[in-house]
A and B are shown apart, each in its own frame.
Chain A
Amino acid sequence: MRYVKPNSEKEATSILFAERGISKILAGGTDILVQIKSGVIKPDLILDIKNIPGIKSIIKKNEGYEIGAAVSGLEFNNDPELKKFAPGIAEAFDLIGSTQIQGRCTMVGNLCNASPAADTVPALISSNCIAKIIGPSGVRECHINEIPVGPGKISLKKGEFIKSIFIPARPDFSADSYIRFTPRSEMDIAIVSAAVFITIDKDKICKDAKVSLGAVAPTVVTVKNAEELLVGSKLDVNVLSKMAAECSSSCQPIDDKRGTIEFRSHVAGVLAKRAALLAYKRAGEKSE
């Protein structure tokens, strides 16, 4: 195994493009080091991106935020304005692992690891975030939901890596939330999760909604039917109950050592309900 630490984007993409063996990007390392040790992956090359200029920056841009690929959970959650701007993404990011893991883990790493249970992905998708990708042919952008294509698989081409994630500006009176279920209070992989983004009008009627579920399918499930139920409502008990049922039935979960199909489906509905209420409440606070 070889280790390199390029000093520029260009150097990074050319090394990646030229590599004949298996290459892995290293930012926080909290996924790939575990996988290397267990023999799940056997990379020939580790490319450490942390020396690339701007890769650790948090930049305000176009009323949104550009988050560098090597920004850790600790750094993200240490920024009070950023936390207030995107509370759902912040809490999703904050839930990854322990305090120690937070000192290293990154959203981009979480995204590119492409676990169906990744915490940040549903939250990023519900917030319409964009990935900025550097490759041999230059820069391109795509929506977050286009990156993971299956468990452990992403759509990036040879020589490409993600430089940053853009969290776009939010309409007035909008807020997001992320809730996951784990057996213990910390230190677990999500058994099922829900990320909801709500926009309300000044009468507190929901104008727009995004509902994404994690760990219930190979990739994140966006539940259009649930979103349509929320729009035009004030999230009363009936609406929430129907929305929960839509979420439960749009899951395609598996039975594994962490949870059963019955459990994941049922709890997906419960969490979607709770996340919707939380996002709605937060949006409401903004309108006061």
Chain B
Amino acid sequence: MTSQGNKTNRQFNVVGTRPVRPDGIDKVTGKALYGADLYSPNMLVGKMLRINEPHALIKSIDTSKAEQLPGVKSVITFKDFLSVDTNKNNDIIENCIANKKVLYDGHAIAAVAAINLNIAEKALKLIEFQLDKLPFVIDIDKAMEKDSPVVQAGRKNENVPNGFSDNVNSFCSFGHGNLEDGFKKAERIVEKSFKTPSVHQGYIEPHACLASMTLDGKADLWCCTQGQYNVRSICADIMGIETSQLRVTASEIGGGFGGKTTVFIEPIALALSLKSGQPVKIVMTREEVFKATGPTVSSLVDIKMGMSKDGLITAAHAIIRYEGGAFPNEIYELGAQSAFAAYDLKAVRSEGFNILTNRPLQAAYRAPGAPQAIFAVESTVDELCQKLNLDPLEVRLKNAAKKGTTASYGPTFDDIGLIATLEAAQEHPHYKSTLGPNQGRGLSCGFWFNFGGNTCVSLNINFDGTVCIVEGNPDIGGSRASISQMAAEELDIPLNKIRTVIADTNSLGHNDVTDGSRVTFAVGLATIKAAKAAKKEMCKRAAKLWNIDEEAVIWKDGHVLPAGANAGIHDPLSLKEIAAISAQTGGPISGHHEVNAEGAGVSFGVHLVDVEVDPETGHTKILRYTVFQDAGKAVHPSYVEGQMQGGSVQGIGWALNEEYIYDQDGKLLNPGFLDYRIPVASDLPMIDPVILEIPNPGHPYGVRGVGETSIVPPLAAICNAVSRATEIRFTELPLSPPKVLSAILKNQ
């Protein structure tokens, strides 16, 4: 594990070290409270009635028998949400609980709250309903055809080209240059279609929440979420109350990866609570998580790419077709934008389509939309390298985006780390090591935009000189440690004098969701600014004490002191000393910062993988895996490495074994960890992380988000490795043994 290329001049004391995380003890002793760990007095258990059909008209629902069962305190259907006019969140609540149609296998039509689980389950069985089954569609090609069953009518945007069914509801196009000319210049052209299945984020903690709502419209909600403020906005809107009346507290979260950036059960719990007058707790089962939360889009991506004899990509065209369930979503745009981001191209176009299907509404999964598109692009680049007998790393370097490149999706890049990561890969012993029989090596670039967003931080200095930081972003990767480190760096005090906590929605202004790899960047930036504001206030207090001008006091090495001899002779005061007399100089001292942060730097990465494929069974074994990624500035290197390793292994699962499998009736066959196969410890070698640091000019310490990029390269890296090991070009994921063996046998 190495760090390369720190180009800042600044010497850091705390940033860049590996202290033990402040919330660690709670997590290793079982003390930390996750979504399902809260119990409240007078609490009811909520359960949802889910329908095992992919598409059906709801003719009637009769909940009267369930309501009369002793121990049942409330029963709801979509009717209970009709009194509120919600435009913005209509799709979200309809995805949680069906309005007129059952739209996916596992879609709920009702919910009950009862005094215990037993009675709740009995009550569900007493709900009577009549359905008219409808023809369904979950396959992308079929859903696009003019005569396809229509999932939702009237959702088509104006700019969608003609000739498709109403399921094709969105379209976008990006790019520049003349494709025709570009293809004419190519020595070789490859035209291929790629397919990826829908996969699930696979967080080990099922969704859970505890809601308490009273008749005056006040509500408290505890839930595992990546964004308590987003939950507040959505639920307040759905329940018809103002945001100030709903206080949402985020529990510790047992994984999210994007899948917990929205709501699936929270409005249901609130509605059950309002109707019953008691708090209601809902915990999803693992089967419900697979069926009724937000798996990713599945994809069909067509690539046409031309390359010159010496490895220059002369033209590239991608047609990206994503399906993300029964409601519109924006992932097709992110796919189209990210597809060619790693390259500096003269002629490039990517077009994206979104297609509605009878599946649950997708939710983000770590760099949403990028893995699917970049899988197709990087596989094609690899095939061209093979056909032209060129080194895959050299070709990437030749075409790599750099400072000044106009990306295919529009912006011009500032300082970026792609070339540094490619060069690091080239020099690494992994790339130079030899391979044995049935072994192959694959590589892929990866990219994610990273975001800034709305962020608030409040930094409070206690009378004893210790510091409490309040921020609003659930900690999914160790961010409390990084934030404390940045504050310690800025204030020049020991790390153990700082405690960072995550606020409920009443305690701070709006914070955007923990996503987009934004927390270390944006919350870090806000923390640094809040610390600076606190330092300014401390200078002010010293000035008051010393009876000199504010401008005559400076902060240096953890102390306030006079700027120069003209200001008079005054002993420096430490933060602790200033804090101790703060009550006498005006009151408690704090600093705060609110911003919609911009300047998040993109993060590039390169992955190298060696595999061995058993030619008799089609089984792929991962032999060696190295991850190169630009972190800008690694605040806590262990946690940066953790992101690189974790995302890589999720990508490995996606490439080799994970997929949503449906039967011919549109029902999900594998809603459990037995047959939805995420990688286990014995499947993997150590994942070797190499951190590059090309500072992001938009952050005071150079930080770039790192959380998402690492899931992007594994898909193509592994597919390229397997393709080279077997000498068969694979274009469809996952590379499950039956698929690989079938191709091997055909090739013999």
Contact = CB atoms under 8 A, between A and B. Distances in A.
The answer on direct contact between A and B (beta carbons under 8 Å) is: yes
Interface of A: 38, 181, 183-189, 191, 257-260, 262-263, 266-267, 270
12 contacts: A38-B287, A184-B657, A184-B682, A185-B682, A186-B682, A187-B677, A187-B680, A260-B738, A262-B741, A263-B618, A267-B741, A270-B617
Given A184-B682, A257-B669, A263-B742, 18 more contacts: A38-B287, A181-B619, A183-B619, A183-B737, A184-B679, A185-B682, A185-B683, A187-B674, A188-B674, A257-B670, A260-B738, A262-B745, A263-B618, A263-B737, A266-B745, A267-B616, A267-B741, A270-B617
Contacts of A259: 737-738
A260 B674 CA distance: 18
Nearest to A244: B616
A262 B683 CA distance: 25
B522 to A, nearest CB: 38
Contacts of B616: 266-267, 270
Nearest to B682: A185
Contacts of B745: 262, 266
B308 interface: no
Contact of B742 (A181, A183, A185, A262): A262
A187 B661 CA distance: 18
B736 interface: yes
Contact of B674 (A185, A189, A266, A267): A189
Interface residues of B, number: 23
Contacts of A262: 738, 741-742, 745
B392 to A, nearest CB: 27
A35 to B, nearest CB: 13
B598 interface: no
B736 A183 contact: yes
Contacts of A184: 657, 677, 679-680, 682-683
B728 to A, nearest CB: 16
Interface in B617-642: 617-619
Contacts of B242: none
Given A263-B741, A267-B617, A183 B657 contact: yes
Secondary structure type dominating chain B contacts: loop
B675 interface: yes
Contacts of B680: 184-187
A96 B258 CA distance: 34
Given A181-B617, A183-B657, A185-B680, A257 B675 contact: yes
A185 B736 CA distance: 13
Contacts, number: 57
Interface in B700-748: 736-738, 741-742, 745
Contact of A260 (B675, B683, B742): B742
Contacts of A188: 674, 677
Q: Which 5 A-B pairs have the closest CB atoms?
A: A263-B738, A185-B682, A270-B616, A257-B669, A257-B661
A262 B746 CA distance: 11
A151 to B, nearest CB: 16
A258 B741 contact: no
A17 B619 CA distance: 48
Contacts of B656: 183
A267 B616 CA distance: 7
Nearest to B740: A263
A262 B743 CA distance: 11
Interface string B660-703: 01000000011000110101101100000000000000000000
A38 B285 CA distance: 11
A258 B737 CA distance: 10
Nearest to B734: A183
Contacts of B661: 257
A257 B677 CA distance: 12
Contacts of B736: 183
Contacts of A258: 675
A266 B741 contact: yes
Contacts of B287: 38
Contacts of A186: 680, 682-683
Contacts of A183: 619, 656-657, 677, 736-737
Nearest to A274: B616
Interface string B275-299: 0000000000001000000000000
B10 to A, nearest CB: 45
A263 B741 CA distance: 7
Most interface-central of B616, B682, B738 (chain A CB within 10 A):
B738
Nearest to B614: A270
Contacts of B738: 259-260, 262-263
Nearest to B737: A183
A266 B619 CA distance: 13
Contacts of A185: 680, 682-683
A63 B616 CA distance: 39
A38 B674 CA distance: 13
Nearest to B653: A184
A188 B677 CA distance: 8
Contacts of A270: 616-617
A120 B596 CA distance: 61
A262 B745 CA distance: 10
Nearest to B745: A266
A167 B669 CA distance: 38
Contacts of A189: 674-675
Interface string B427-440: 00000000000000
A187 B675 CA distance: 10
Contacts of A38: 287
A183 B735 CA distance: 10
Nearest to A267: B617
A260 B736 CA distance: 11
Contacts of A257: 661, 669-670, 675
Contacts of A266: 616, 741, 745
A185 B622 CA distance: 11
A258 B661 CA distance: 10
A101 B478 CA distance: 32
B737 A181 contact: yes
B653 to A, nearest CB: 9
A189 B676 CA distance: 12
Contacts of B679: 184
